Each structure stands twice: as C-alpha cells, then as structure tokens.
C-alpha cells in the first residue's frame, strides 16, 4: 500500500489526476473504473483541463462506473448517470460506445447486475472513494469478500447522508459492483478527503480486515495507492 498525504483537497485532486493521466499516456487503451461522490470531482476537473491542454487523450479509453441508485432514472440530476456525464464524459473525448454504467432503470435489476459483472473484467485502474461507514462503491458494512455485482439495500447512514441531494422519491437500493470485482482490478487508487473520512481511513491503515468496514478488504490488494488529505489522515499515528 502506497499512502500519499497531501496538504489539502486541491493537491489531492492534482496528484490523483496526474497519476491517472500518466496511466492513460502509458496505455491509451486503459480500462478504467470511476467513482461517483464529491471527492473525485476536483480530479475530474483537472483531467478535463489536461484534455483541453492536449496533455491527455481519452479516445481509446474504456470507462466503467462502480454503482447506481435503484430505481433511478438516467434523467434524474441525482443519478450517477447524470453525475458521470456532467462531470466527465461530456467534457472529454471518450467514445459513447466505450462507456459502461449500471442501469438504474433496468426492469430486471438482477439480470442487469449479472450482465454488468460479465463486462466488468480486466480493469486496469479502479478509482474509489470511501463512505463514512467504510463502504466502497455501495458495498455496505456486512458485504462479503467474494461478493459480485448485485442489488444492495442502502444502510440508514448512507441514506441520511446521500439523500440530502434528493428532493423526493429517495431510492432505498443500489446496484453496485462487488468486493471481489473491485479486488480483481490491477491497480486501485483510493481517494479520501475531509475529517469525516478519518475513522474509515484509520481502520483501513491501522486495523484488521473486517466485513464491518469493507474498505479494509483493500489491505490485501497488491497495487493500492491511497491518496488522502491532511484532514482525512488526522487520526493516523
């Protein structure tokens, strides 16, 4: 595990965008999985800037998303579909056919997860955020190490935190890639910013693997980069 501590969120975003741009420049056909949430937004902005300045080209990339609320219309501004297109895909030159996201409108969510799991293979780089309760993607506490893409009931903690962005019709479920699929990615870049992530970061770094805190499953990954800002690292020794 490589831990990079930055002085603030801006530096975290810059460092993460540089690592990803280097990966894409080394392998333009990279298969990469992106996370939603507030944390990677700064990194996406810097990648877009890199694209505009011709420092990085996304034309051969294949992109995946980690999760989506269920049920969730693509048109809903709170969907991860909208999030990914607004923050990244509409602003770079990745071809539409190379973008794979879980469909929150699927009539049969179990089948949707099974089909997504078949596509979610040979991922070179996976960018992850972290929930305050230690969830990764939407693998809530209790998720098993061998879990695959599936329908997951959101925890009360996640609901109260994430639902601030919903005006009505809050979803109670999500579709999310599983822990085993995340661990199968060749490189993982985990981002954590702010003091409300400090407990989860401490568990990842100082405590044993436990299903009660899914981010700890990453401890055993052979190519994990953790990028945290000072606030997220404030409980570390």
Q: Whose Cβ is closer to ligand GLP: residue 50's or residue 171's?
A: 171
Q: Which of 112, 140, 181, 229 is catalytic?
A: 140
Instruction: Out of 42, 109, 129, 171, point to the residue binding ligand GLP (CB under 6 A).
Output: 129
- Specify whether the CB–CB gap between 130 and 136 falls below 8 A: yes
Q: Which of 133, 162, 181, 221 is catalytic?
A: 133
130 lies in the binding site for ligand GLP (CB under 6 A): yes
Provide, rounded to whole angstroms, the least separation between the CB of residue 118 and ligand GLP.
21
Instruction: Out of 67, 112, 124, 181, point to the residue binding ligand GLP (CB under 6 A).
Output: 67
- CB count within 10 Å of CB 111 equals 10
Provide, rounded to whole angstroms, the least separation between the CB of residue 60 and ligand GLP.
25
- Active site annotation includes 169: no
140 lies in the binding site for ligand GLP (CB under 6 A): no
- Active site annotation includes 67: yes
Ranges within 3-42 binding ligand GLP (CB under 6 A): 35-39
Binding mask 77-116 for ligand GLP (x = CB under 6 A): ----------------------------------------
- Specify whether the CB–CB gap between 141 and 36 falls below 8 A: no
- Active site annotation includes 212: no
Encode the chain in three state secondary structure. CEEEEECCHHHHHHHHHHHHHHHHHHCCCCEEEECCCCCCHHHHHHHHHHHHCCCCCCCCCEEEECEEEECCCCCCCCCHHHHHHHHCHHHCCCCHHHEECCCCCCCCHHHHHHHHHHHCCCCCEEEECCCCCCCECCECCCCCCCCCCEEEECCHHHHHHHHHHCCCCCCCEEEECCHHHHHCCCEEEEEECCHHHHHHHHHHHHCCCCCCCHHHHHHHCCCEEEEEECCCCCCCC
Q: Whose Cβ is closer to ligand GLP: residue 161's or residue 211's?
A: 161
Q: Which of 103, 135, 162, 221 is catalytic?
A: 135
Binding mask 154-183 for ligand GLP (x = CB under 6 A): ----x---x---------------------
66 lies in the binding site for ligand GLP (CB under 6 A): yes
**Distance, C-alpha 163 to centroid of its chain:** 18
Active site residues per annotation:
67, 133, 135, 140
The residues of the shown chain that bind ligand GLP, judged by CB under 6 A, are 35-39, 66-67, 129-131, 137-138, 158, 162
């Amino acid at each position: 595990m490589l831990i990079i501590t930055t002085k603030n969120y801006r530096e975290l975003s810059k460092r993460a965008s540089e690592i990803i741009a280097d990966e894409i420049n080394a392998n333009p056909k990279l298969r990469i999985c992106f996370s939603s949430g507030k944390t990677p937004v700064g990194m996406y902005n810097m990648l877009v800037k890199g694209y505009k300045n011709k420092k990085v080209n996304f034309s051969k990339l294949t992109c995946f998303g980690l999760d989506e609320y269920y049920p969730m219309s693509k048109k809903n501004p709170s969907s991860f579909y909208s999030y990914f297109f607004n923050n990244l895909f509409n602003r770079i030159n990745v071809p539409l056919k190379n973008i794979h996201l879980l469909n929150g409108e699927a009539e049969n969510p179990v089948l949707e997860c099974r089909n997504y799991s078949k596509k979610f293979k040979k991922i070179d780089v996976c960018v992850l955020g972290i929930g305050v309760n230690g969830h990764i993607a939407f693998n809530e506490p209790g998720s098993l190490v061998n879990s695959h893409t599936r329908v997951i009931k959101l925890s009360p903690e996640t609901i109260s935190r994430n639902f601030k962005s919903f005006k009505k019709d809050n979803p109670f479920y999500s579709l999310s890639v599983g822990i085993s699929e995340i661990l199968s990615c060749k490189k993982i870049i985990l981002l954590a910013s702010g003091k409300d992530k400090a407990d989860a970061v401490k568990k990842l770094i100082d405590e044993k693997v436990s299903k009660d805190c899914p981010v700890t499953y990453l401890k055993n990954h052979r190519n994990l980069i953790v990028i945290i800002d000072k606030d997220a690292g404030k409980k570390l020794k």
